[in-house]
C-alpha cells in the first residue's frame, strides 16, 4: 500500500518536473507574461517588506508580511514558509511553479518566490478587504444575503478549478474562512492552496495531516482513508457554506440553547423542522428558496460518509440551481438530533 503511494507520488512528481521543463522551454512572450514567476532574492524581499516589519498574520503555513514590490510600487504579501524539506530546492521550486501556473479569478495570484537554502518565501498579490472570517464574523451587521450567496459560489468555483480544471489537481487540505480573502469588489479569492503538499515531507501521501484548524477537517482525516483527498475539501467547503448562510462560526458557545452549539446539528434540525427562517433571522431581502438550496448542498458536503459527498462540479451546479438537490440525510447519523 505505502509502496503504491510512493510510486504514485513519484510518477506525479516526475510528470510535474517534465511539465516544468516544458514550461521553461516555452519562450512565447504571452505565456511568459502569464506564467512566469519572478524569482526574488532574500535581500529584495527583506527590503520590500522593510525587514519583515509589518506582520499581517501567522498561520500553520508560516508568517505573512505586507510589502511593496520594488519597481512598480504594487502592494504585495510575503509569506515565509516554516523550514521543511531542507536541501530539496528543486522539488520546492517545481511545486511553486505548479502553484504559479494556476490562474482563476477566485484564487489569490502568486507573483513570485524566493528559495535560498532553507529560506522559502512566496510573494502574492495583496487583497485589500480582509478575510471571509472578518467579513462574516467581525462585522457589526450581517452582510446582505445576495453578497454572501455570491461569495459562496465564488469559493465553490475556486475549489472546482483546483480540483478539476487546472493542469495539476490541487487539493487544498486547509480551507477555512481565514484563508479565503476578499478583494476591493468583494470577490472571494482562495489563498494557501498547494502549500499542504509543499510542507509535508516529500513522497509521503495522504497520511500526513497539516496542522490546520481541526474544525474544518473532515472526520475521516483522523483515520487512514482510502478515498480521494478531494472529499476533504468538499467537507471543509460544506462547513464554510453553512457559516456563510448563518454568519456564525461552526462552533459557538454563546448561544441560546445547547443544540445550537454545533452549527451542523443546528442547521440540520432547522432543516428537518421546516424552520430555516431561524438561520437568517432579522434579515431583509433573503431568497428563502435559495437559502434552502444552499442548506441542502451544505448538508450533503458535510456527510460523515465521504462517499456521499458530491464532487465540486455537482456542488457548483446545485448552488447555481442547474442541478436538482436531493433531500440530504443527517450529516452524522451517530449524533442524537432533537
Ligand atoms: C454528480 O453528478 C453526476 C451527473 O452529472 C451524477 O451522475 C453523480 O451521481 C453525481 N454525484 C453525486 C455524489 O451526487
Ligand atoms: C470588510 C471590508 O473591509 N470592507 C471594505 C471593502 O472595501 C471597501 C472599499 O474599499 C470598503 O468600503 C469596505 O469597508
19 lines ligand 2 (CB under 6 A): no
Residue 317's pLDDT is what?
98
Residue 208's pLDDT is what?
40
Annotated binding-site residue numbers for ATP: 79
Mean pLDDT of 68-86: 85
Nearest residue by C-alpha to atom 5 in ligand 1: 314
> Any idea what the Cα angle at residue 32 is, between residues 85 and 35, rounded to 5°?
45
SS3 letters across 55-117: EEEEECCEEEEEEECCCCCCEEEEEECCCCCCCCHHHHHHHHHHHHCCCCCCECCEEEEEEEC
Question: Which of 93-97, 282-286, 290-294 is the most confident on average?
Answer: 290-294
Q: How many CB atoms lie within 10 A of CB 48?
A: 20
What contacts 234, CB < 8 A, 6 or more positions away?
159, 301, 309, 310, 311, 312, 315
Separation of alpha carbons 180 and 175, rounded Å:
8
**Three cell numbers written together for 318:** 446545485
Kindly give the distance from the C-alpha atom of residue 78 to the centroid of ligand 2, in angstroms, as a whole number.
22
184 lines ligand 2 (CB under 6 A): yes
Mean pLDDT of 178-205: 83
Of all residues in the chain, the percent with pLDDT exceeding 90 is 59
Kindly give the distance from the C-alpha atom of residue 309 to the centroid of ligand 1, in angstroms, as a whole number.
10
Question: Which of the pair, 82 or 208, is modelled with greater confidence?
Answer: 82
The ligand with the least distance to the CA atom of 130 is 2
Mean pLDDT of the chain: 84
Separation of alpha carbons 318 and 241, rounded Å:
13
Domains of the chain, with CATH numbers?
A: 38-125 (3.30.200.20), 132-320 (1.10.510.10)
130 lines ligand 2 (CB under 6 A): yes
Kindly give the distance from the C-alpha atom of residue 310 to the centroid of ligand 1, in angstroms, as a whole number.
7
Q: How many CB atoms lie within 10 A of CB 155?
A: 23
249 lines ligand 2 (CB under 6 A): no
- Atom nearest to 310 CA in ligand 1: 13
If pLDDT is split at 50, 70 and 90, which confidence band does 182 have?
A: very high
310 lines ligand 1 (CB under 6 A): yes
The ligand with the least distance to the CA atom of 309 is 1
Among 1-5, 246-250, 276-280, 310-314, the range scoring the smallest mean pLDDT is 1-5
Mean pLDDT of 143-161: 97
Separation of alpha carbons 324 and 224, rounded Å:
33
> Any idea what the Cα angle at residue 305 is, between residues 4 and 163, rounded to 5°?
60
If pLDDT is split at 50, 70 and 90, which confidence band does 210 have?
A: very low
Mean pLDDT of 317-325: 97
Residue 240's pLDDT is what?
98
CB 233 within 8 A of CB 206: no
- Does the pLDDT of residue 52 top 60, yes or no? yes
314 lines ligand 1 (CB under 6 A): yes
CB 92 within 8 A of CB 62: no
Among 90-104, 131-145, 212-226, 302-316, the range scoring the smallest mean pLDDT is 212-226
Among 29-33, 56-60, 117-121, 150-154, the range scoring the smallest mean pLDDT is 29-33
> Any idea what the Cα angle at residue 230 is, between residues 226 and 231, rounded to 5°?
70
Residues facing residue 80 across a β-bridge: 63, 121
- Does the pLDDT of residue 178 top 80, yes or no? yes
CB 200 within 8 A of CB 189: no
Residue 33's pLDDT is what?
47
Kindly give the distance from the C-alpha atom of residue 336 to the centroid of ligand 1, in angstroms, as a whole number.
29
The ligand with the least distance to the CA atom of 129 is 2
Residue 35's pLDDT is what?
58
Nearest residue by C-alpha to atom 9 in ligand 1: 310
Kindly give the distance from the C-alpha atom of residue 130 to the centroid of ligand 2, in angstroms, as a whole number.
8
- Does the pLDDT of residue 243 top 50, yes or no? yes
135 lines ligand 2 (CB under 6 A): yes
Predicted confidence (pLDDT) per residue in 97-117, tens digit: 899 999 999 999 999 999 988
Separation of alpha carbons 87 and 161, rounded Å:
31
Question: Which of the pair, 89 or 314, is modelled with greater confidence?
Answer: 314
The ligand with the least distance to the CA atom of 141 is 2
Separation of alpha carbons 313 and 160, rounded Å:
6
- Atom nearest to 135 CA in ligand 2: 1
Annotated binding-site residue numbers: 79
Mean pLDDT of 75-85: 86
Of all residues in the chain, the percent with pLDDT exceeding 70 is 80
CB 316 within 8 A of CB 153: yes
Predicted confidence (pLDDT) per residue in 113-143, tens digit: 999 888 899 999 999 999 999 999 988 889 9
266 lines ligand 2 (CB under 6 A): no
Amino acid at each position: 500500500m505505502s509502496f503504491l503511494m510512493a510510486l504514485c507520488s513519484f510518477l506525479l512528481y516526475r510528470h510535474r518536473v517534465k511539465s516544468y521543463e516544458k514550461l521553461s522551454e516555452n519562450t512565447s512572450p504571452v505565456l511568459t507574461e502569464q506564467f512566469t514567476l519572478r524569482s526574488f532574492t532574500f535581500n529584495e524581499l527583506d527590503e520590500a517588506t522593510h525587514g519583515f516589519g509589518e506582520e499581517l498574520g501567522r498561520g500553520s503555513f508560516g508568517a505573512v508580511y505586507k510589502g511593496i514590490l520594488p519597481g512598480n510600487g504594487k502592494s504585495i504579501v510575503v509569506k515565509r514558509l516554516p523550514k521543511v524539506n531542507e536541501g530539496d530546492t528543486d522539488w520546492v521550486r517545481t511545486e511553486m511553479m505548479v502553484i504559479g501556473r494556476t490562474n482563476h479569478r477566485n484564487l489569490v495570484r502568486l507573483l513570485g518566490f524566493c528559495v535560498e537554502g532553507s529560506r522559502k518565501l512566496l510573494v502574492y498579490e495583496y487583497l485589500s478587504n480582509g478575510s471571509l472570517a472578518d467579513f462574516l464574523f467581525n462585522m457589526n451587521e450581517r452582510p446582505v444575503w445576495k453578497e454572501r450567496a455570491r461569495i459562496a459560489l465564488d469559493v465553490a468555483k475556486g475549489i472546482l478549478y483546483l480540483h478539476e480544471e487546472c493542469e495539476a489537481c490541487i487539493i487544498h487540505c486547509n480551507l477555512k474562512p481565514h484563508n479565503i480573502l476578499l478583494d476591493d469588489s468583494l470577490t472571494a479569492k482562495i489563498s494557501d492552496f498547494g502549500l499542504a503538499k509543499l510542507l509535508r515531507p516529500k513522497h509521503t501521501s495522504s497520511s500526513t495531516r497539516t496542522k490546520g484548524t481541526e474544525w474544518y477537517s473532515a472526520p475521516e482525516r483522523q483515520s487512514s482513508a482510502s478515498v480521494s483527498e478531494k472529499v476533504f475539501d468538499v467537507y471543509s467547503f460544506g462547513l464554510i457554506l453553512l457559516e456563510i448562510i448563518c454568519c456564525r462560526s461552526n462552533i459557538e458557545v454563546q448561544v441560546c440553547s445547547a443544540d445550537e452549539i454545533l452549527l451542523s446539528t443546528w442547521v440540520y434540525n432547522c432543516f428537518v423542522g421546516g424552520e430555516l427562517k431561524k438561520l437568517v433571522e432579522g434579515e431583509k431581502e433573503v431568497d428563502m428558496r435559495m437559502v434552502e438550496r444552499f442548506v441542502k448542498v451544505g448538508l450533503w458536503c458535510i456527510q460523515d460518509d465521504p462517499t456521499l459527498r458530491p464532487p465540486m462540479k455537482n456542488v457548483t451546479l446545485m448552488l447555481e440551481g442547474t442541478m436538482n438537490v436531493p433531500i440530504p440525510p443527517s450529516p452524522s447519523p451517530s449524533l442524537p438530533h432533537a
